[in-house]
């Protein structure tokens, strides 16, 4: 199948626009996604810095910010509705426009053809289109801050009636409509990308690359794309109905008797619970869309930096498949406090707790992969270990939240905030960094600075852990989430000091990321030139020059004769046997 | 589905290169697309069921619709599926003329269905039904009806355009058998969705 797209290496150089802007090369598109996600991460990070300032020093006035946000922070004091806008946009941007973008758009595009041995994606033009629909999606989201009433303020979950009625909150005026339009563009772009990834992985593998020989990253990207493809359409349907409720006078999500701004609403017959079901039917698989590729990248690092085969490859693949399947049918555990029948809640709780089994298998395989290895603590490995740590800690929190009995106590507290940030913030962020440091040589032909990388890790990891572990505790103490000020609650007097510490850690975390950005962009031009295979890894992308040429391999596409993790095979001349080495030279272990 | 794959994919399945499904990547993507699009309608129809249960009562459809007219609509659409299947079969045998003839017949069915749906909408709106109002009972019925049949109508329109393009390209000899088959897959999907809509809105 390798031959249907001709090698482009010999073609004349294309114009700048065709090569770097409207490129159909999966590697360029991957980098475009990655850089876009970095820009969006800066915005998402800045938003949360403002929130943390408000939470730590609620009565302070910030005249400079008052000039920057004349409506939201009039006179330098933050308005509650502005805080809610910040929170909504932080969540939306980070979940959809940072982590999804970096992991699926960035690494998905860059890695899939390189690791399965294909010249490009199945549909290169569709791939380009997918990116250029993502750009307006980002712009619409960011632009929503500038419309009347400000950006959407109903949370990233956009629950009606708050999100459906313009009078409910300033952010529910045009800001919410822009949010829906931005999400629609995002979904269109994601669907194009996802169709492309799934088709490419199924149909474009090189000779010998059977499904059970694919690198674990490819498995995780495959499952994540599949989940996204299956889960996003019902959200599209819900978004269309929300748009109709807002602008066409329908009442899909609005019951009768709603009272806003001293006015009785005319709506009747709908139910906000419908939105919650449709939203979480996407929303829960979406967290697996984020975390599966992160786990895949984490697992990918382990054999390379321990010099031994990945432990339990097959069990890990089966577990990831099981997690994906179960992840589709447990959305109700986000709705335990919505008044659902305890029997229904019980079914969702059993399903959710069942996910701990395959998750624990993946976690144990990670630890067993580390066990007895010859650890090379390079920067990607540090971040990979960080990811395992977050996966473990965050996972324990999940047991409490998946269980209806304890969730009802914890649901509206910072315990939830701490939990999901460790999982879909921490695990994913660590994996994205690990992936950036690891594949940077293949992207740009240069290495990132190792010392700065390690410093970046030691700034990121403790700060991140400090913030979100502390949030578990203030959550257990009863701190409710989504409040912009806790001063009025006597029982929360003793969380004021931790709030300040969390804010300081958040500042440190944010500042630390500039080390990464500086390292990344400076290394593109000044980094040490990278050899073909700097980490001595066995997967296919390391058999082609760094950076990989257009068409990925200059000559024939390599054939695959073994799985991706043949390390320290008895009788081999080196401790790592590339997937393309024939069975006659080195025995095949899987 | 198995036939067309072998010409550009010599290697056996499940071994890299070819696919576990034995389909070319173009057809594979159409299938995945149909699944995602099907889930879009699943979302809408689940919402319809949810709202209908929440509403308590539901209008008497025999008062609202002329069911024999709806049956004619359905018959037209199902027949167009049959003509489409014949077109695909003819294209596979390399009989371009026959394929083109049946593609044109399918298009007639598609546009006839769209015309009938426009007539039905026109009648209902004339009697006072809107997105937020329904003279026969719960307003939710009007909202669901116009939204979901509207979405389906848009799909029929898209399908009719795809059929038109396929017909032109078949006449010119550009489209191969697989192209006709892919247009057919989408067309059958659109028809299948109508079966669900017909059942849930008019019969049950």
Contact B24 A205 (CB under 8 A): no
The 10s digit of each residue's pLDDT in A22-68 is 999 999 999 999 999 999 999 999 999 999 999 999 988 999 999 98
Is residue A213 within 8 angstroms of chain B, CB to CB?
A: yes
Residues 6 or more apart whose Cβ sits within 8 Å of residue A35:
none
Residues A409, B171: Cα–Cα separation, whole Å: 67
- pLDDT given at position B4: 43
User: B138 contacts in A (CB within 8 Å)?
Assistant: 269
User: A273 contacts in B (CB within 8 Å)?
Assistant: 50
As a whole number, the mean pLDDT across chain A is 93
Q: How far is CA A364 from the centre of its chain?
A: 23
Is residue A268 within 8 angstroms of chain B, CB to CB?
A: yes
pLDDT band, very low/low/confident/very high, at A525 (cuts 50, 70, 90): very high
pTM of the entire predicted model: 0.93
Is the backbone of residue A446 left (phi > 0), alpha (psi -120 to 50) or beta? beta
The answer on pLDDT for B5 being more than 80 is no
The answer on pLDDT for A221 being more than 70 is yes
User: Any idea of the CA torsion for A380, A381, A382, A386, to the nearest 10 degrees?
Assistant: 100
Residue of A202, A238, A269 lying closest to B20 (CB–CB): A202
Residue B8 lies in a domain: no
| ipTM of this predicted structure | 0.89
Residues A382, A448: Cα–Cα separation, whole Å: 14
Residue B2 lies in a domain: no
The answer on pLDDT for A7 being more than 60 is no
Contact A235 B43 (CB under 8 A): yes
User: Any idea of the CA torsion for A161, A162, A166, A171, to the nearest 10 degrees?
Assistant: -160
User: B46 contacts in A (CB within 8 Å)?
Assistant: 234, 277-278
Min CA distance, B59 vs chain A (Å)?
14
Residue B10 lies in a domain: no
The answer on pLDDT for A554 being more than 60 is yes
pLDDT band, very low/low/confident/very high, at A146 (cuts 50, 70, 90): very high
Q: What is the number of structural domains in chain B?
A: 1
- pLDDT given at position A411: 94
- For residue B166, give the CATH number of its domain: 1.20.120.80
Residues 6 or more apart whose Cβ sits within 8 Å of residue B62:
none
Which residue ranges make up each domain of chain A? 29-256+268-577
Residue B1 lies in a domain: no
Min CA distance, A266 vs chain B (Å)?
10
- pLDDT given at position B139: 85
Is residue A249 within 8 angstroms of chain B, CB to CB?
A: yes
Query: Which domain range does residue B168 map to?
Result: 23-203
Residues 6 or more apart whose Cβ sits within 8 Å of residue B75:
none
Q: Is residue A94 classed exposed, middle or buried when 0-12, 13-18 and 19+ CB atoms within 10 A define those classes?
A: buried
User: B143 contacts in A (CB within 8 Å)?
Assistant: 244, 250-252
The 10s digit of each residue's pLDDT in A94-124 is 999 999 999 999 999 999 999 999 999 999 9
Residue B11 lies in a domain: no
- pLDDT given at position A4: 43
CATH code for the domain defined by A29-256+268-577:
1.20.210.10
pLDDT band, very low/low/confident/very high, at B16 (cuts 50, 70, 90): low
The residues in B 44-73 lying below 8 A from A, measured between CB atoms, are: 44, 46-47, 50-51, 54-55
- pLDDT given at position A390: 96
Residue B79 lies in a domain: yes
Residues A218, A448: Cα–Cα separation, whole Å: 24
Worst-scoring range by mean pLDDT, A369-373, B24-28, B182-186? B24-28
Helix axes A272-306, A313-327, angle to 10 degrees: 170
The answer on pLDDT for B84 being more than 50 is yes
Residues 6 or more apart whose Cβ sits within 8 Å of residue A164:
A172, A242, A245, A246, A253, A254
Mutation test of the interface with chain B: which of A199, A227, A246, A580, choosing the one with the most B Cβ atoms within 10 A?
A199
A310 vs A188, A384, B16, CA distance in Å?
36, 14, 21
Mutation test of the interface with chain B: which of A1, A115, A228, choosing the one with the most B Cβ atoms within 10 A?
A1
Residue B12 lies in a domain: no
């Amino acid at each position: 199948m390798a031959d249907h797209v001709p090698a482009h290496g010999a073609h004349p150089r294309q114009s700048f626009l065709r090569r770097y802007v409207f490129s159909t090369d999966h590697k360029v598109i991957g980098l475009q996604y990655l850089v876009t996600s970095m820009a969006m991460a800066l915005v998402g990070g800045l938003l949360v810095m403002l929130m943390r300032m408000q939470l730590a020093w609620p009565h302070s006035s910030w005249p400079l910010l008052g000039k920057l946000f004349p409506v939201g922070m009039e006179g330098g004091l933050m308005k509650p509705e502005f805080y809610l806008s910040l929170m909504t946009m932080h969540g939306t941007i980070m979940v959809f426009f940072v982590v999804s973008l970096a992991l699926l758009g960035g690494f998905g595009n860059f890695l899939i053809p390189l690791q399965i041995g294909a010249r490009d994606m199945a549909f290169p033009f569709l791939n380009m289109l997918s990116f250029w629909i993502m750009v307006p999606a980002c712009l619409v989201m960011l632009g929503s801050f500038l419309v009347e009433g400000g950006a959407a303020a109903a949370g990233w979950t956009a629950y009606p009636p708050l999100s459906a009625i313009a009078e409910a909150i300033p952010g529910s005026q045009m800001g919410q409509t822009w949010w829906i339009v931005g999400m629609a563009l995002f979904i269109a772009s994601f669907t194009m990308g996802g169709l492309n990834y799934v088709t490419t992985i199924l149909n474009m593998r090189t000779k010998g690359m059977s499904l059970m020989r694919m690198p674990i990253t490819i498995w995780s990207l495959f499952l994540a794309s599949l989940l996204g493809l299956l889960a996003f359409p019902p959200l599209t349907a819900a978004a269309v109905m929300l748009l109709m409720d807002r602008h066409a006078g329908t009442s899909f999500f609005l019951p009768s008797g709603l009272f806003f701004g001293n006015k009785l609403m005319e709506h009747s017959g709908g139910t906000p619970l419908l939105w919650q079901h449709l939203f979480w039917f996407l929303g829960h698989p979406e967290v697996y869309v984020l975390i599966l590729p992160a786990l895949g990248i984490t697992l990918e690092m382990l054999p390379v930096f321990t010099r031994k085969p990945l432990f339990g490859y097959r069990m890990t693949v089966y577990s990831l498949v099981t997690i994906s399947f179960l992840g589709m049918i447990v959305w109700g555990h986000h709705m335990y406090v919505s008044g659902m029948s305890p029997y229904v809640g019980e079914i969702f709780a059993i399903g959710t707790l069942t996910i701990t089994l395959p998750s624990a298998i993946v976690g144990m395989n990670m630890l067993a992969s580390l066990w007895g290895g010859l650890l090379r603590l390079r920067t990607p490995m540090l971040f990979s270990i960080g990811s395992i740590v977050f996966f473990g800690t965050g996972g324990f929190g999940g047991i409490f939240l998946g269980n209806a009995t304890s969730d009802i106590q914890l649901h509206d507290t910072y315990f939830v905030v701490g939990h999901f940030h460790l999982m879909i913030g921490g695990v994913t962020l660590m994996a994205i960094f690990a992936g950036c440091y690891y594949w940077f040589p293949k992207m740009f032909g240069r290495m990132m600075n190792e010392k700065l990388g390690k410093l970046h890790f030691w700034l990121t990891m403790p700060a991140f852990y400090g913030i979100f572990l502390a949030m578990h505790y203030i959550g257990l103490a009863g701190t409710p989430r989504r409040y912009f000020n806790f001063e009025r609650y006597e029982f929360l007097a003793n969380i004021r000091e931790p709030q300040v510490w969390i804010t300081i850690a958040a500042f440190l975390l944010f500042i630390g990321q500039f080390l990464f950005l500086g390292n990344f962009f400076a290394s593109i031009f000044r980094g040490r030139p990278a050899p073909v295979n700097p980490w001595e890894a066995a997967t296919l992308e390391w058999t082609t020059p760094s950076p990989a040429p257009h068409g990925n391999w200059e000559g024939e596409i390599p054939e695959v004769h073994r799985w991706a993790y043949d390390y320290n095979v008895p009788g081999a001349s080196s401790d790592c046997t590339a997937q393309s080495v024939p069975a006659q030279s080195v025995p095949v272990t899987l | 589905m198995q036939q067309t794959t072998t010409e550009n994919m010599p290697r056996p399945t499940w071994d890299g290169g070819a696919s576990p499904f034995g389909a070319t990547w173009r057809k594979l993507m159409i299938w995945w697309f149909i699944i995602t699009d099907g889930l879009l309608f699943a979302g809408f129809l689940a919402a319809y069921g949810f709202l209908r249960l929440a509403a308590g009562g539901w209008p008497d459809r025999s008062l609202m619709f002329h069911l024999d007219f709806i049956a004619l609509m359905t018959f037209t659409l199902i027949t167009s599926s049959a003509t489409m299947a014949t077109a695909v079969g003819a294209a596979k045998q390399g009989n371009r003329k026959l394929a083109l003839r049946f593609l044109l017949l399918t298009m007639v069915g598609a546009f006839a269905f769209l015309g009938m749906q426009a007539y039905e909408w026109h009648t209902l709106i004339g009697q006072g039904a809107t997105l937020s109002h329904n003279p026969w009972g719960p307003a939710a019925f009007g909202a669901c009806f116009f939204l979901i049949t509207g979405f389906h109508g848009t799909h029929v329109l898209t399908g009719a355009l795809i059929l038109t393009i396929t017909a032109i390209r078949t006449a010119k000899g550009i489209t191969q058998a697989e192209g006709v088959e892919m247009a057919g897959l989408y067309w059958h999907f659109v028809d299948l969705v109508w079966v669900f809509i017909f059942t849930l809105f008019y019969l049950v």
